[in-house]
Amino acid sequence: MKAIQVKNLTKNFNGIVAVDNITFDVDTGELFGLLGPNGAGKTTTINMLSTLLKKTSGSGTVAGFDISKNKDDVRRSIGVVFQEPALDTKLTGRENLEFHSMMYGIGKEDRKARIRDVLNLVDLAEKERVLVEKYSGGMKRRLEIARGLIHRPKVLFLDEPTLGLDAQTRRHIWDYIKRLNRETDVTIILTTHYMEEADFLCSRIAIMDQGKFVALGSPSMLKDILGGDVVTLEFEGRADELINLMESLEWIKTLTQYNGHLTLTLEKGERRIPELINLANKNDVKVTCVQLRKPSLEDVFLHYTGRTIRQEEASQTERNKSMMRSRMGRRR
């Protein structure tokens, strides 16, 4: 059985399309990622699948239940870790877990055992009697992951599970997620705008931009689309002739130039480098530095959208800032 089936799912907020006609399936036990910049529609997708938002059109099932007709069945089958913390900070860690277990109808004896299990899983057993307001960001995140697991959901949604966490905590949480997926057969859907996170964790990834899926596949498959390796040449001098020549070569798949750098994608990069340097020398271009790397998901995103996720984030903050300015201006 498919853990999730989504067909032409769309969400419209007063004329603004947040999720635009997406279709995908997720197999049971899979670790599926939604990768994209902020505002791509990832969270809106999760909110619709977890019954918190009504869809505008299309259809979706989670664990075999329709997301608009069998809401309670969907709710019983899922665990959700939201992007923003959703803990009661005036309760202790344990009390938050008890609240959750009781809301999910778990009996007293079961409750004790399960809370102990999940607290151990996320290393919070010692802090169980501390008010959550005293927890660090990483501890809150771990507590939320623990909470999402208590009722043994078939499908676990993780919305930006490592947002705003330091590198070490992020690493820990990645390990938890991997182990969890391996040891229990819970299906995990996670959203992220960190390429390396999606790459490290997910068996399949959907790249999302402006409400649409632009690509879907395993990380290695997505990267193979680019065709081989990425070679960056740093050079001195005018490279116009060289670029013209390179553009005519069939084995160079893509070529972009920016202030003294040439980025090429081609197969068997390590074998082509001498050839590239020869070409440069013949055209009076001095190559000062060569870099060869395997394509990242960032390159894939660039390939499909013409922008990098980082640029997208930057322009997003820019937009927010200008929006703030105009708002404040009006108030004055």
b/e 128-162 (16+ beta carbons within 10 angstroms → b): beeebeebeebbbbbbbbbbbbbbebbbbbbbbbb
Closest CA to 203 of 74, 28, 64: 28
Rounded to the nearest whole angstrom, what is the least distance from the CB of residue 53 to another protein in the complex? 6
Nearer to another protein (CB atom), residue 76 or residue 212: 76
* Residue whose pair of structure tokens reads 């105009």 in the numeric block: 326
Rounded to the nearest whole angstrom, what is the least distance from the CB of residue 162 to another protein in the complex? 17
Closest CA to 298 of 191, 217, 219: 219
Rounded to the nearest whole angstrom, what is the least distance from the CB of residue 44 to another protein in the complex? 9
Nearer to another protein (CB atom), residue 36 or residue 153: 153
Binding residues (CB under 8 A) for another protein: these are 47, 50-54, 72-73, 75-76, 78, 80, 82, 84-91, 95, 98-100, 102-105, 147
Rounded to the nearest whole angstrom, what is the least distance from the CB of residue 97 to another protein in the complex? 11
Nearer to another protein (CB atom), residue 128 or residue 298: 128
**Rounded Cα distance, 188 and 208, in Å:** 17
Rounded to the nearest whole angstrom, what is the least distance from the CB of residue 47 to another protein in the complex? 5
Closest CA to 89 of 38, 143, 154, 42: 143
Nearer to another protein (CB atom), residue 47 or residue 305: 47
* CA dist 304 → 36, 94, 214, 294, 326 (Å): 12, 45, 7, 17, 32
SS3 7: strand
Nearer to another protein (CB atom), residue 22 or residue 78: 78
